[in-house]
Structure formats: C-alpha cells, structure tokens
Amino acid sequence: MKFIQGNYYDVLIEVRDLVHLCYELITHPLVGSVKPNETPYRSIILKQGINTDLQSVTIIENSIQTYEKFERMKSTPIWSQRILEDFQFVDLKLFESSLDSISLYS
Amino acid sequence: MIKIVHYINQFFAGIGGEEKADFKPEVREGIVGPGLALKTAFGNEAEIVATIICGDSYFNENLEAAAKEILEMVKKYSPDLFIAGPAFNAGRYGVACGTICKEVQDKLGIPAVTGMYIENPGADIFKKDVYILSTANAATGMRQAVPAMAKLALKLANKEAIGTPYEEGYIQRGIRKNIFREERGSKRAVNMLVAKLKNESFETEYPMPDFDRVTPNKAILDIKKTKIALVTSGGIVPKHNPDRVESSSASKYGKYDISGVMDLTEETYETAHGGYDPVYANLDADRVLPVDVLRDMEKEGLIGELHRYFYATVGNGTSVANSKKYAAEIAQELIKDGVQAVILTST
Amino acid sequence: MVKEIERAGLPVVHICTIVPISLTVGANRIVPAVAIPYPLGNPTLSKEDEKKLRRGIVEKALKALQTEVTGQTVFEK
Amino acid sequence: MLKDKKVIIIGDRDGIPAPAIEECIKTAGAEVVFAATECFV
Amino acid sequence: MRLELGKVLIKDMQFGNQTKVENGTLFINKEEMLNAISGDDRIKGIELDIAKPGEETRIMPVKDVIEPRVKVEGPGSIFPGVLGKADVVGSGKTNVLKGAAVVTTGKIVAFQEGIIDMSGIGADYTPFSKTCNLVVVCTPTDKLQQHEHEQAVRFIGLKAANYLGEAARNVVPDEVKVYETLPFAESLKQYPNLPRVAYVYMLQTQGLMHDTYVYGVDAKKIVPTIIYPTEVMDGAILSGNCVSACDKNPTFSHCNNPVIEDLYERHGKDYNFVGVIITNENVTLMDKERSSNWTAKLAEFLSLDAVIISEEGFGNPDTDLMMNCKKISDKGIKTVLITDEYAGRDGASQSLADADRSADAVVTGGNANEVIELPAMKKVIGYLEPADIIAGGFDGSLRPDGSILAELQVITGATSEIGFNKMSATTL
Amino acid sequence: MDLENQKRVLDLSEKYGKENVVVVLGTAEAESAGLTAETVAAGDPTYAGPLAGVSLGLVVYHVFELKDQFDAQVYDDQCGMMEMVLDVDALNNEVSSMRKQFSKF
C-alpha cells in the first residue's frame, strides 16, 4: 500500500514507473466514469511480476494520455471539503469493488 | 469590402527560384503573382491590399524571427482575412504558409486560409490549426485551387458555417464535430452490420487512429560489409545533455559523434527520457544503446562498420508530425552517409 | 519513427520492450527487449553476464536484418 | 501562315528540341527571333 | 420466447382523483402514489412533479429514467428479481405507457450530473424531453450514507414506474407489436440459410453509482451469458449507474434498447437474430480478460457470423470494447461497435482511450466534450446548484440568469452508446 | 513555363508587335503543351512568372500542326521520329483549343 501525496496524475505517474519495473496492473487506472479532471483521488492496484507486462504498459500509457487530454480541457477544480469527501467516498467504493473482485479468485 | 493580405514566396513573386530563396520578408502594396488570380475569384467582394513576399529558405531558417517580422507587416494593414500560397507540393513554402497562417490566426485573431498538396509536409503539421485547401501537386493546379480557396476564405471572413472537407475542399483537419444523421445510431449499426455481412462497402463513423504500414525493405545480404547506424528513442545523450533534448514532448533530436567511443559509461552518457526510471540507463547507457557490443562485433569483423554518429530522441509525448519529420531528416542523412541498415532501440 | 526510416529505404530492426506498441507504430523487424528502464541490460546480472545478454539481443537484431520478411515479424526471444 | 512572322520557339528536351523546330521554320519563310528548349519534367 | 408488447400511447400527464389512462392522458392520484412508493425510512420526504414536452422546465440532477410497464399475461412481473420474484420474463403480454416516464432525481454525492431540459436546445439532445415525465424528488434523512441513498432512490423509482404501469393493465393498447426469438436449435431450422447475428450488450459494472443489475444480481458478479431479447423488454436489466449522464443507459433505455428493436426489424430477412450476449465492464484487468474471452467464446459457441457490440460509459470500458471486438473478430466473426467520444472541447484529441485495428465498423453517438449553452428555464425540478460541479460543468457554468454553459456530458442520454439518438460525429 | 522565357516572350511581343509574333511549341506532353500555349495566349496560369495576369493573345501552334508549312524532307529529318512516338492528336487538340480560346490575332 503506497500513498501518493499529490493528485490523480501523480498516482498515474507512480503507477507507470512501477509498471516499467515489472509490476502488473490489477485494476484499470481509469476505473469509474468520474472523469480524470474531476476527482483528485485514485486508487490503483498492482502486483509485482517478473517481466514487463505489455498490456499494463499500453493501458497505463493510454490512461496518462487520456488524463492529459482532460486536464488540457479544464484542470481539476479546487473542491470544497464536502465534495472532496464525496470523491473520496466514490474512490473508496470503487476500490472496495476491486477488492471484492480480486477476492473472488485469490 | 473585405481587406486581404496575401503571403507568397520568392518564386511566385517572380524574384527567382532556389537561388533567391534567402529573400527577406518584404511587403508590397497591392497584388503580386497569384494574387491576380485571387482578385478575379473575389470579384467585388474582397480586395488584396498588400502582398508579403518571403524566401522559403529565409523563412524556414529564421522561423521565429521571420514569423514575427511578417506578423508585424500584416498587423499594419489590419486586414479582415489572410491568405497564404497556395504552396502545392513545395515543402518549405508549405511549412511557411502553415506557420504564418497559424500565427496570424492565433495572435491577430484574423481568419487565415492556405492551400497545399495533401503530401506537403506543411499540410500534415498544420491541418489541425488552419484551413488548408487541398490542391494539385504543382502550380499548374492554380486555376482549380484559387476559386475554391477564395470561396472558403470569404466564408471564413463572413463567419459563415464551414461545411465538411468534402463540401469545401479543404484537407481533413482531424477534428471531431458533432452532427445529426438521418437514422438513429442503432439503425445505422444494423445497416453497417448488414453491409459487412454482404461484403458491401460501408463507412465507419469513427476511423481508428492511423495504422499505416510500410513495406519491409530487402534483407541485408552481407552483414560483414554493412555500415550500421544506431538510432534510439530512449533519449541517450552525452552527459549533461548538451543539446537540451527535452525529457518529453521532444521538439528536437540529437546527433552525436561516437567515433572512438568503445563503451557508454556513467561518466560520459545519460538519458534525457522522462518516461521511465532513468537510474539504470544513467548507470550504463549501453543498456539502451548497445555501443559496447557493436564495437566488439566491429572489431571481430562481424559487421562492416558502426556509423560514426548516433541519433537520439525521446519517444514519449513527441507529436506524430514531429517524430515523422525528424525520422525523415535522420533517414536522409543516414542514406547520404552511406549507412545500409539501422538498429533502432526503444524503451 | 521506425516507419519513416524504413520508408526512406533503409532496412531497420526495432529493439523494443513493448512489442504491441512496436506493431502499432508499424515496425517490420522487431526484436523484443528486456524491460523498459533497461531494454538491453539487466542490472541484477553481473557485468559480464549482462553484456552477454546484450550481445545476444544485438545478434538477434543482426539476424533479423539478414532475414527477408514480407510483413511485420517478431523475432522472438 | 508563318511567312514574314517573328517566331518564338519553345522546344522540349523530351519532345522536339528548339534547334530542330528552327530548321523547319526556316523552310517556311519565317524569322526566328528566339528559341529555347525547356525541360518540362 | 414470444412477447406481445402493447403500447398505450400517452400524450399528456396530469394529477387527478384516480390513477388511470383516459384518451391518451395519464391521470395520477398523487396521494395514492406517494403511499405506494414511500415506506423507506431512509427517505425523509418524497415530492412528485410533472414535466411535459415543450415546457420551460429543467430536471436535475437526474439519477434514472424508467418507463412504466406492466406484465399482463405470462410468467413473472416487471423488474424481476427486484420488485417481484426472479421468474424468467420476456414471454406473454406486456403493456407499456408509451410516452410516459418516471424520472428520479437526488443529490447523492455533491458532484452529480444529469440534466433533462423539456424545451430549448438542450431538449434536442435528450430523448427524455419527448416523454411526459413524472419526477420523483427524494430527500434523504440526515447523514444517510451515499450508497444507502442511491439504493433507496433506485427502489423508489422502480416502485413508481411499477405503480404507474398498473394503470395500463386493463387498457386496450393502441398498438401491439410481437417480438419472438426461438430456442437456438429451432431458430437455426427456421432460417437455415441466413447469417446468424447476435447483440453483445456491455453493462457498466464497477461499483457504487456504476452498477447494473440483471434479475436483481449485480452484473459485475456474473460471467457473460445469453438471454432472450424479450427478457430485456420486461425489465430484466436495470440501471444503478448514475455517474456519466450522457452515455449511461438509464433503465428506460435498457427496456427500449434500440439495438434490439432494430435487429428485430430485419430479422428473418437479412439475417437470423439469435439472441443477446450480456457482458460486464469490470475494474480489474483479469476480469476484463475473462469476460471478453467468454463473450468471444459464446459468440463462437453460437456459430455467429456477425455481432453488434455496444459500450456503456467512458475510459476503461474502451478497453473492454476493444478486447471484445478483437477477440470476436479473431474468431472470424464480423463486428460493428457503438460507442461515443471524448475528443476534447475542440474535437482535436484522441476520442477513445483504446483502439484496435479490428474496429473498422464503428457507430458513434458523438463527442461528449462539445460545449453547449443551455438557456435558463422557468422551472427547475430538483437542484440547480450542482451545475457548477457536475461532470462537464465548470466554474461559472451556472450563470446568474440561470443559464448553463457545459459539455454535452451533462445531458442525460445525449451520446447514447446503444444508438438511441441521431447524433453522431464526423471528422472535419 | 520557365520564368526567363516568359520574360523574353513578353519583351519580344512588345518589340515586334503582338500581331507579328507566332509561338511554336515542341512540347512532348499534352498537359504541358496546353499550359505553355495558355501562358503565351491568356497569361501564366501558375501566376508565378512575368506573364501572370498578362493576356498577350499571341498565336501559338504546336510544331506538328504546322507540318504542311515545312519542307517535307527537313520536317521528316527533324521531327519524323518524335511524331511516331508522341500523341500527335492530343497535342494538336490541346494547343489548338487554347489558340481558339485565347489568341487574339
């Protein structure tokens, strides 16, 4: 479990670096329909592998591009505490849903 | 009446060909060269108040200064419309037309139009930003190009709605625009399905990004006599990055002499790539660009020769247009230097 | 990039980590590499072994250059 | 048609070059005032 | 499986003494209806309002839109596994209040989107400006957890549609349409020479506010499976997806899935429409791989010649869409995709987060990022303040005069990925 | 058409009078024959040269059109070979059509 002090983008970049060090994506970085220029929160699950996972690389690179596309249009606003909490909550719920899915086969 | 400033190169101004391509920007009151044809096409609706002439080499070699200078000239006339070219298949003229049109549009807020042959490198670079009328590949297409350009230009000046590339004749800009079609989406999908089943033609509404392919070149017959060059998109550069190749969104590439270099070491080379953890490449750049191994093989006579220069860009964030342009330039130089095969490494 | 060099008439071999990306960008002769931060190396190996590994990949690349291909071909590990 | 006219010849390196046309024109009683061979490629 | 769909055409909606249909008008007894749908102690109060086509009314933030239907004959009830038993539906007779809809609204989280304008330019983009809408506004009790809130509103909406649907039980429909799909073996015998096609129906299944239910089961817990098209018309698939307004499929759209309707149109003429494969859009890559493997396997199992694949949502489902497309194409089965685009406000960015060469026949519902200006409306049902923070809105979106400048994203159903609309996009 | 040559054509037609000047072409391709004919009769269609926007209206022929005017033996020696190779009809048509449209003399 690694907490990245920063925003959605910082998490994506950290994940990309991990992917390049042979970590494998378990969850899709763009999970959920909340757009990357809205929520400052993002949880992504990875697993250590032996070789670079090609699919993970493609997906994380595309995700970063998608993030950049949205951020170019309009950057993430400075939200009020109440909204931030809601974004946290949705991220948590999506994260829990990921954990649920993983526990199905591990 | 709509006031127009027209931009042309030294050739169309009747000043001369390649030998005069270093001609510096100059403004002339009224019409010069192809402006005559535009005048006929515009009739009484618009008037060319000034023509700016600039040599193609001058423009491309002094891109920023030339653009600035020309922008000032345009500003003086405060026109309603700016037209450049048409440039047909003249590459540097095309780049000049595209650059200056974009500048005029962005900085002065004046609508601009140019014309080019679809394979003109300027078309690829600027089609997103500027309306580029699709023309023939040579000046003999002037007669067809000018009326269409004039029509499109007038529409822009009058702020009329611009139709599709097919209707207006401009080069597809790659911009997605919402439209309403005759049938609802599900019906269109069923129609497409039936067409596909019957092997009839259909048109996808969203073409996938370019999957353009190139036919492979012939294999090397005698590798022992072959001059091989190294190219990398992994951003390997001499220590401290003398050319300032950018860590991402590369706007240039580096060309580095490795004659006498047997091994890339931590002290001498590093990576400028921003897309991956640079520690390993910085410790030993051979991990990205295998100079050490190729030198050994050169010594052992397993390859003919390692080319004395290697080329480096960073892959990530580089625009397709830029990377195409660099690669084309690099390839030309390599061929000129007698290189017969290339090893390209990417991270 | 690899495509433009090929288009200009030079046979080119692409050594890269992410084969699918290489396929997407249109390389014709593809040799898979080790990992992104070190496509032609492996820091966990000794210097000698690492160089041996690198030489192996380069040899495969040279072989690829000497092999006639008609379409995109991956020269597997 | 050509008699007593001043003729300008634009020959073509890949077609009929100017000197060849000039030879012909002379037999028609016209004066060649300029002859050039272009390369149209 | 054979379903007779009886359409009771509704042209007007009014509150009245008795809930009934008379001459194309749906009268609603407000008291009775409130009684029928309340009872959830998580909800403090429910208000009902009516919004009709052409009125200067804005509904926001919209959670779901549901069409009132009633099972007149045959097994099961509407919304099986949720309001009734999990009986297999899709046969017999079902009546529909065509032209009426229930719209639920609520501020479940602070950044909610979903706008339906009943007139003006915004009305052109949403299919739900053409229906008479009974709007249900629920006020939650204090400190109600968001997922509890979401669930409560979802159920109240279904109950409301169910209640109104009952009004059509004993009405002779204005129009009856029969849809029939035979068991697979019989269907092959019926049209031995026609190519076999199916519909691959992708459902958003990612977690809170991103879920879809099949017979009451959270669809992220299913593996891809085959269902009869008519099951969908009886409410077998329900939406719990209320994030992406423009390209989610509200329950209304599931029941009226236009791909199913249009595939039936040419069934038996140009092809044999053998059934629907439902699949999900999951959060983990392994799930994505598994589900796409299964859809491709089922497509092969049914010896299909071609499929239409529809997507739901944005971003990671692009990966599911491309995986499905590629794996099905690799089996030699032809594919047509329906998606929408996020090409940026200027339309110049890459539209999808994934791409594959095999995706050579794509229908698009348009660019969700295109900006639109929605005029002020006289009446707002729901809450106007979220305009600033809804997806696709931005600082200053909501102007002092009540008009809204926002991306098409905010409009419910604007870029439908099951092809509900005529909107599309083209390359300029 | 070559910019230098355009200039010469312009100068010579002023010197001798446009009505006295005839241009004879030896062009191999119909398209370039037409363009050259158009240049000297109607003005430079590429608008790059001195004849841009200048309609001289000169009379212009392709050399093949004038076959009858020449000594047969000389013509045969000089042009006979190319006459067999090139598309004479297309060339003659192209040039004569330009002449009919734009020549003023």
3-state secondary structure of B120: coil
pLDDT for B143 beyond 90: no
Contact B190 E262 (CB under 8 A): yes
Contact B335 C10 (CB under 8 A): yes
Q: CB-CB: which of B213, B231, B288 is closest to C26? A: B213
Q: How would residue E392 be classed by pLDDT, with cut points 50, 70 and 90?
A: low
Q: Which of B183-192, B309-318, E11-20 has the lowest mean pLDDT?
A: B309-318
Contact status, residue B55 vs residue B82, Cβ threshold 8 Å: no
Q: Looking at the structure, tell me whether residues B121 and B245 fall in a common domain.
A: no
Number of other residues whose CB lies within 10 A of the CB of residue B344:
26
Contact B184 E258 (CB under 8 A): yes
State what percent of residues in chain B have pLDDT above 90.
63
In this structure, is residue A26 part of a structural domain? yes
Q: How would residue B234 be classed by pLDDT, with cut points 50, 70 and 90?
A: confident
Query: What residues of chain F lie within 8 A of the CB of B11, using their CB?
Result: 48
Report the amino acid identity of residue E204.
Q
B-proximal residues of A, 23-52, CB under 8 Å: none
Task: State phi, psi for F86 to the nearest 5 degrees.
Answer: -90, 165
Contact status, residue E295 vs residue E203, Cβ threshold 8 Å: no
Contact C1 B313 (CB under 8 A): yes
State what percent of residues in chain B have pLDDT above 70.
94
Nearest of E418, E403, E401, E313 to residue E121 by alpha carbon: E403
pLDDT for B339 beyond 50: yes
Mean local confidence (pLDDT), C44-67: 93
Nearest of B286, B229, B283, B282 to residue B259 by alpha carbon: B229
Q: How would residue B346 be classed by pLDDT, with cut points 50, 70 and 90?
A: confident
Residue ranges with strand state E in chain B:
2-9, 26-29, 46-54, 81-84, 112-117, 131-135, 176-180, 227-232, 236-238, 254-257, 269-271, 305-312, 341-345
The mean predicted confidence, pLDDT, of chain E is: 93
Contact E284 A102 (CB under 8 A): yes
pLDDT on residue F53: 86
Q: Which of A43-52, B274-283, C25-34 has the lowest mean pLDDT?
A: B274-283
pLDDT for E389 beyond 60: no
Provide the number of structural domains found in chain E: 1
Catalytic entry in E242, E246, E255, E325: E242
Provide the number of structural domains found in chain B: 2
Q: Which of B32-41, E235-244, E383-392 has the lowest mean pLDDT?
A: E383-392
Q: Among the residues of A44-80, which ranges form H helices?
A: 54-73
In this structure, is residue A41 part of a structural domain? yes
Tens digits of per-residue pLDDT, F55-104? 999 999 999 999 999 999 999 999 999 999 999 999 999 999 999 999 99
Q: How far apart are CA B337 and CA A22, in angstroms?
A: 39
In this structure, is residue E424 part of a structural domain? no
Question: Which residue segment(s) compose the domain that A87 sits in?
Answer: 8-103
Q: CB-CB: which of E305, E408, E424 is closest to B205? A: E424
Interface test with B, best of C40, C48, C55, C69 (most B CBs within 10 A): C40
Q: How would residue E303 be classed by pLDDT, with cut points 50, 70 and 90?
A: very high
pLDDT on residue A90: 87
Interface test with A, best of C36, C38, C53, C77 (most A CBs within 10 A): C36
Q: How would residue B121 be classed by pLDDT, with cut points 50, 70 and 90?
A: confident
Contact B290 C67 (CB under 8 A): no
Q: How many residues does chain D have?
A: 41
Tens digits of per-residue pLDDT, B168-202? 999 999 899 999 999 999 999 999 999 999 999 99
Question: Which residue segment(s) compose the domain that E201 sits in?
Answer: 2-410
Tens digits of per-residue pLDDT, E140-174? 998 888 889 999 999 999 999 999 999 999 999 99
Tens digits of per-residue pLDDT, B19-34? 888 999 999 999 999 9
Contact D36 F1 (CB under 8 A): no
Mean local confidence (pLDDT), F8-30: 93
Contact A77 E389 (CB under 8 A): yes
The nearest alpha carbon in chain E to A95 belongs to: E207
State how far residue C35 is from chain A, nearest Cα, in angstroms: 6
Nearest of C34, C27, C23 to residue C13 by alpha carbon: C27
B77 touches chain C (CB under 8 A): no
Q: How would residue C34 be classed by pLDDT, with cut points 50, 70 and 90?
A: confident
State what percent of residues in chain E have pLDDT above 70.
97
Q: How would residue A37 be classed by pLDDT, with cut points 50, 70 and 90?
A: confident
DSSP for residue F49: S
pLDDT on residue B322: 62
State how far residue B123 is from chain E, nearest Cα, in angstroms: 14
Contact C37 B331 (CB under 8 A): no
Contact status, residue B40 vs residue B109, Cβ threshold 8 Å: no
Q: Please state whether E90 falls in left (phi above 0), alpha (psi between -120 and 50) or beta.
A: left
Query: What residues of chain F lie within 8 A of the CB of D31, using their CB?
Result: none
Q: How would residue B317 be classed by pLDDT, with cut points 50, 70 and 90?
A: very low
State what percent of residues in chain E have pLDDT above 90.
82
Distances in whole angstroms, Cα of residue E337 to Cα of each of B186, B190, E411 = 10, 10, 22
Rounded to a whole number of angstroms, the CA Rg of chain F reads: 14
Touching chains, C (3+ CB pairs < 8 A): A, B
Contact status, residue B141 vs residue B88, Cβ threshold 8 Å: yes
- Identify whether E325 is a catalytic site residue: no
Query: What residues of chain A lie within 8 A of the CB of C15, using their CB?
Result: none
The mean predicted confidence, pLDDT, of chain B is: 89
Contact status, residue F90 vs residue F65, Cβ threshold 8 Å: no
Q: Looking at the structure, tell me whether residues B257 and B320 fall in a common domain.
A: yes
Q: CB-CB: which of C20, C21, C35 is closest to A22? A: C35
pLDDT for E207 beyond 90: no
In this structure, is residue A43 part of a structural domain? yes
**Using CB atoms within 10 A of its CB, is residue C55 exposed (0-12), middle (13-18) or buried (19+)?**
middle
Q: Are strands E196-204 and E306-310 parallel, antiparallel or unpaired?
A: parallel
pLDDT for A65 beyond 60: yes
In this structure, is residue B214 part of a structural domain? no
Q: In chain E, count H helices and then E strands.
A: 8, 26
Query: Where exactly are the structural domains of chain F?
Result: 3-102
Q: How would residue B96 be classed by pLDDT, with cut points 50, 70 and 90?
A: very high
pLDDT on residue E135: 97
Question: Which residue segment(s) compose the domain that B132 sits in?
Answer: 2-168
- Residue found under tokens 């099986």: E80
The nearest alpha carbon in chain C to A50 belongs to: C35
The mean predicted confidence, pLDDT, of chain A is: 84
Q: Looking at the structure, tell me whether residues B239 and B107 fall in a common domain.
A: no
E295 touches chain B (CB under 8 A): no
pLDDT on residue F89: 94
Give the sign of the dihedral formed by CA E389, CA E390, CA E393, CA E399. negative
In this structure, is residue B337 part of a structural domain? yes
Provide the number of structural domains found in chain A: 1
Q: What interface predicted TM-score (ipTM) does this complex get?
A: 0.80
